[in-house]
Amino acid sequence: MSRFISREAGRLEPYIPGEQPMDMQYIKLNTNESPFPPSPKVVKAVSRSELLKLNLYSDPTCDQLVRAIAHRYELRPEQVLAGNGSDELLSFAFRAFCGEGKGVAFPDVSYGFYKVWAAFYGVEAKVIPLKADFTIDVDDYMDYSGTILLANPNALTGEELPAAQIQRLLEADQNRVVIVDEAYVDFGGESCVPLLCRYDNLLVVQTFSKSRNLAGGRLGFALGAPDLIADLNRVKYSFNPYNVNRLSILAGAAAMEDEAYFKNCTAAIQKTRDWTAKALEELDFTVLPSKANFIFAASKSFPNGELYRKLKENGILVRWFDQDRIRDFYRITIGSAEQMEQMVEAIKKLLGEM
Amino acid sequence: MSRFISREAGRLEPYIPGEQPMDMQYIKLNTNESPFPPSPKVVKAVSRSELLKLNLYSDPTCDQLVRAIAHRYELRPEQVLAGNGSDELLSFAFRAFCGEGKGVAFPDVSYGFYKVWAAFYGVEAKVIPLKADFTIDVDDYMDYSGTILLANPNALTGEELPAAQIQRLLEADQNRVVIVDEAYVDFGGESCVPLLCRYDNLLVVQTFSKSRNLAGGRLGFALGAPDLIADLNRVKYSFNPYNVNRLSILAGAAAMEDEAYFKNCTAAIQKTRDWTAKALEELDFTVLPSKANFIFAASKSFPNGELYRKLKENGILVRWFDQDRIRDFYRITIGSAEQMEQMVEAIKKLLGEM
């Protein structure tokens, strides 16, 4: 840190993204990307004539993209906000709905960025432990009066919380916002989007990075009552109004309109996920039941990061978190069927060498 | 505002971007875009094969882009940070170098976003009036102990402050950061980049939106001592690590490498600017001396927004700010020679009708 840094910035605890090593070509199963290219409609939408318009600002309202999202989810455009990745929108939501006297509660094992944003905005975080089986008990959140933030399916574990449980939280106190981070919902989870017509204290955040094959386009979206979206816009226009570039607006709209491709990709990943979970269980792994595009698995043969290190030596990257409760687990992205077969083979080989 | 909004978000005063009306096709001279398409090298760089990789995250370090910028400015990559527009980087700089006990000083007539970010981060803003002739007197900033933020050439006015004046500020107190927003420097202004080798308290912020014809790509960059850039990265990794998308990284690197195209475009705009200023002066306008891709002009014939309204009726958009001291001025982007001729003709016609 320089001698100029502000006290607030000095107190930050930055997020550490999954590694992107350049030393060799890895099978990358560490950042939950899709193994499939974007929809052919995306490639078509980012045309030469559109590239020639890059001298003009993007539409700060992202109208074309917002309409495509609203149409897909049967909502009105005023219920949709697009962002530079769902990370940006979650950050905006922290500013909009948390602050002095209004903290935020989230699980101890979840997306690691939640505590980083709490520090960024100086918001009091109530970190609530998952149950022993790594599931969320909504009763633990029932009396909390601040904002509630749940990833569903949960980041890291992949476990699903039934929408009816989240509905209980929405119902119990209609003066608090419940933010549901549905980054992974399209791989078999139950979305809270149908609850939006009944609860104006619900904010759903989704991303194009996983099920829409556009991690490199940096696109996310928030869905909620028009008043909540207006609050988020208030933050956006106080931070970076032109937050989504022209090409990502086009790519996102095209991806959102290609429902068939979306269904094919997400179905293939679910099939490969279930195969991978079964293969690892046969190798005596504990695999948490996942509704995401990754699995969270542990093995007595590979404690404390050992599998991460050994697989990396073999050209395969998975993610390991040096964190209490989950130090023996590995978060493994579901890639193509072939990639997962290669990983299972590599693990068998490692087990054979022991 | 919803009943859920945080106190901090309730206090925000969002920025209002230049209008982007969709009701008809305007000659848009209101948001300082380039009238020229991006470099042909940009169109080539955003290739089909790159589009097919959009399922993969962008490089959070933006290595390829950072190297292209570092090479162009004869700096080391550790002295460069890329952002989702220079707006995002200026916002990061507010968090990094301003806060409790460390305010920020900037001119009363400048980029309107500075006061918005001050409110966003709860930073005390010292707003220092420009002199009567709309120039900056650095002596007004000499004793200020917080962070100093100057747009040079100044936003709105287009007036240049010689780098030697900024050097006096850097020299006088080496424990404060001076941020120079050089969004418009490539149209004849004097950059502070050569001072970076001598002052570790200097941060220069530039953009691809004006002189690099990439407003729609949302790209900016900050240049400074490695320690300052590390502080900004600390903020970035606490907010949105994957802040630049894959295609903008490619587009930006290609634009930065096409020096000849850059020189042609910026030279053409300077020539058209000087023609436009002369034409308006002949129509009895007061035109501030501009080193930017816009001019700031007033006319007794069109007080208080009148020219903005009349030109809009005629299909030409310029920007008018309903703000003390500058209510009779118009900020007019320099478009193509043809567009400026059309604007001058339209003004002549309006004057003839009086």
Q: Is A16 exposed, middle or buried (0-12, 13-18, 19+ CB in 10 A)?
A: exposed
Q: Tell me, what DSSP letter sits at residue A59?
A: -
Interchain pair B56, A230: CB under 8 A: no
Round the average pLDDT of chain A to a whole number and report it: 97
Q: Summarize pLDDT for A134-147 with one digit per residue, the tens.
A: 999 999 999 999 99
Distance set, CA B334 to CA B31, B271, B338 (Å): 10, 10, 10
Phi and psi at residue A214, in whole multiples of 5°?
A: -130, 40
At A353, is the pLDDT very low, low, confident or very high (cuts 50, 70, 90)? confident
Q: Which residues of A touch B42 (CB under 8 A)?
A: 51, 54
| Contact indicator for B215, B192 with CB cutoff of 8 Å | no
Confidence of residue A354 (pLDDT cuts 50, 70, 90): confident
Q: Give the pLDDT of residue A168.
A: 98
CB distance B234–A48 less than 8 Å? no
Distance from CA of B351 to the nearest CA of A (A): 31
Listing DSSP states for B201-245 in one string gives TEEEEEESSSTTS-GGG--EEEEE-HHHHHHHHHHHTTT-SS-S-
Confidence category of residue A24, pLDDT binned at 50, 70, 90: confident
What pLDDT shows up at residue A244?
98
Complex ipTM value:
0.97
Q: Which residues contact B313 (CB under 8 A, 6 or more apart)?
A: none
Residues of chain B with CATH 3.90.1150.10: 18-37+260-353
Mean pLDDT of chain B: 97
Return the closest-CA partner of residue A155 out of A290, A335, A325: A290
Q: Report pLDDT digits (tens) over A191-235.
A: 999 999 999 999 999 999 999 999 999 999 999 999 999 999 999
Of B54, B234, B244, the CB nearest to A9: B234
Range B154-163 average pLDDT = 97
Decide if B141 contacts B104 (C-beta within 8 A).
no
pLDDT for A305 equals 97
Contact residues on chain B for A235, CB-CB shorter than 8 A? 9, 12
Q: What are the start and end residues of each CATH 3.40.640.10 domain in chain B?
A: 40-257
Q: Which of B172, B149, B171, B174 lies closest to B161 in space, CA to CA?
A: B149
Digit-coded pLDDT (tens) for B50-102: 999 999 999 999 999 999 999 999 999 999 999 999 999 999 999 999 999 99
Answer whether B129's CB lies under 8 Å from B175's CB: no
The number of C-alpha atoms within 13 Å of A40 and in the hemisphere containing its C-beta is 2
The conformation of residue B106, written as its DSSP 8-state character, comes to E
Sequence-distant (6+) residues with CB within 8 A of A62 are A82, A244, A249
Collect all residues of chain A within an 8 Å Cβ-Cβ radius of residue B336. Answer: none
Q: What is the pTM of this model?
A: 0.97
Enter the CATH code of domain B18-37+260-353: 3.90.1150.10
Q: Which residues in chain A touch residue B244, judged by CB atoms under 8 angstroms apart?
A: 218
**What is the interface size between A and B, counted as CB pairs within 8 Å?**
294
A73: nearest Cα among A186, A231, A235: A186
Answer yes or no: are the C-beta atoms of B240 and A87 closer than 8 Å.
yes
Q: What's the pLDDT band for B18 if we cut at 50, 70, 90?
A: confident
Predicted confidence (pLDDT) at residue A70 exceeds the cutoff of 90: yes
* Element (DSSP H or E) covering residue A254: helix A246-257
Tokens 């001019």 -> residue: B295
- Given pLDDT bands bounded at 50, 70 and 90, which one contains residue A298? very high
Contact B150, B106 (CB under 8 A): yes
| Beta bridge partner(s), residue B222 | B81, B205
Pick from A33, A96, A240: CB nearest B9: A96
- In single-letter form, the type of residue at position A140 comes to D
Q: What is the C-alpha to C-alpha distance for residues B237 and A13, in angstroms, rounded to an integer?
A: 9
For A120, the token pair is 């960024």
What sign results for the dihedral spanned by CA atoms A25, A26, A32, A36? positive
Write the residue in B88, B242, B248 that is nearest to A240 by C-beta.
B88
The answer to whether residue A170 scores a pLDDT higher than 90 is yes
Instruction: State whether B12 and A238 contact (CB < 8 Å).
Output: yes
| C-alpha distance from A185 to closest chain B C-alpha (Å) | 17
CB atoms B237 and A16 under 8 Å: yes
In chain A, residues under CATH classification 3.90.1150.10 are: 19-37+260-352
Query: Which residues of B fall within a CB distance of 8 Å from A33?
Result: 55-57
Average pLDDT on A95-107 reads 97
Q: Structure tokens of A43? A: 């490639």
Rounded Cα distance between B15 and A16, Å, is: 31
Contacts of A56 (CB under 8 A, 6+ apart): A246, B28, B33, B215, B216
| Binary contact (A37, B14; C-beta < 8 A) | no
Any bridge partners for residue B83, and if so which? Answer: B220
Q: Is residue B89 within 8 Å of B220, Cβ to Cβ?
A: yes
Q: Inter-chain contact A97–B4, Cβ cutoff 8 Å? A: yes
Tell me which of 1.10.4100.10, 3.40.50.300, 3.90.1150.10, 3.90.228.20 is the CATH number of domain A19-37+260-352: 3.90.1150.10
Question: B55: which chain A residues are within 8 Å (Cβ-Cβ)?
Answer: 33-38, 213-216
> Residue length, chain B?
354
Tell me the one-letter amino acid at B267: A
Report how far residue B103's alpha carbon sits from residue B114's, in angstroms, rounded to the nearest whole number.
Answer: 12
Partners of B2 on chain A (C-beta within 8 Å) are 200, 225, 227-228, 230-231
* Helix/strand/coil for B274: helix
How large is the C-alpha radius of gyration of chain A? 20
Distances (CA, A) of B35 to A52, A176, B27, B45, B340: 11, 48, 10, 21, 11
Sign of the CA dihedral running A67, A68, A71, A74: negative
| Angle subtended by helix axes B259-282 and B337-353, to nearest 10 | 10
Contact B9 A54 (CB under 8 A): no
Residue listed under structure tokens 């960025």: A113
- Find the closest chain A residue to B28 by CA distance: A56
Place of tokens 């269980």: A281
Reduced DSSP (H G I as helix, E B as strand, rest coil) percent helix, strand, coil of chain B, to 5: 40, 15, 45
Q: Do B37 and A58 touch (CB under 8 A)?
A: no
Q: What is the CATH architecture assignment of A40-257?
A: 3-Layer(aba) Sandwich (3.40)
Distance from the Cα of B63 to chain A's closest Cα (Å) equals 11
Predicted confidence at residue B23, as pLDDT, reads 75
- The first and second tokens of residue A220, run together, are 């996310």
Per-residue pLDDT, B20: 81
CB atoms within 10 A of CB A141: 25
Distance CA B270, CA B248 (A): 26
Task: Say yes or no for a CB contact (<8 Å) between A177 and B4.
Answer: yes
The verdict on a CB contact (< 8 Å) between B57 and A91 is no
Mean pLDDT of A324-348: 97
* Out of A59, A233, A235, closest to residue B20 by CB: A59
Contact indicator for A108, A130 with CB cutoff of 8 Å: yes
Phi-psi region of A303 (alpha: psi -120 to 50; beta: other; left: phi over 0): beta
Check whether B24 has a pLDDT greater than 90: no
